[in-house]
Amino acid sequence: MFTTHMQTVQFYKYQGTGNDFIMIDDREEKFDLEAHDLIKGLCDRKFGIGADGLILIREHQYADFEMVYYNADGYQTSLCGNGSRCAVHFAGFLGMVSNDCSFQTIEGILQAKLEGDQVEINMPDVSSVDQTNEDYFLHTGSPHYVRFVNQVEDYDVYENGRKIRYSDLYKKEGINVNFVESLGNGKIFVRTYERGVEDETYSCGTGVTAAAIAYGRLNGLNNIQIKTLGGDLNVNFQPKDGTGFCNVHLKGPAKMVFKGEIEISN
């Protein structure tokens, strides 16, 4: 007869403009980094806690903390902008940071500023913006495809995003797909189909950053207001070397929604 050992894990649920995450204080490093099926199960909205991703907060030798991010499919892939903002807020809640701080990510050490519920993070530099017909591709810590459309609120983001994400060019590695409408006066409305989640999310931090840079590049702007289904964000940046962008900042709210405990088998 087999015995299943159960472990109680405390978690915190966070959201950043509707992009939601399971946050776990893992400073004692007890969580199994290879527990892909467990993480996928915890993120399941029917059978688990439900989230777009899961984030572990750990100590770090050189930064104020380390953020270990998993998509809802249970795997680490690339940087999550809204997850990073939530991680900074959670680290503040844990007493690990206050105001200006640094944190380790899959893209290296990033800088951040925490002011109440507002979190601003310094995103990685963007080396170039590639264009194919009227569409754009750029890497903002994660790979993003940007397409400008009319009436994005009524656009079928799931079907059109899925077609691009699983096209022959992108199906192996996957890509995030952003549909963007200009609202005028330096403001855009962005909706995103995210790989790893394999659905539309209410907001995507690296996605709005990509959309803002593509829009700003077209219109000679470097400070963009972004509307998403989950709330408003701001992205500002500076041109670099004629083709790239630096000093890229993403700012917006992060909020703890609730905390709880769940039993997992080990």
Residues annotated as part of the active site:
80, 204
**Among 247, 9, 258, which Cα is nearest to 120's?**
247
SS3 of 43-87: the string is HCCCCCCCCCEEEEEECCCCCCEEEEEEECCCCCCCCCHHHHHHH
Rg of the chain (C-alpha set): 18
Q: In the structure encoding, which two tokens stand for residue 26, read together? A: 């893992």
| 109: Cα within 13 Å, side-chain hemisphere | 8
Distance CA 141, CA 163 (A): 22
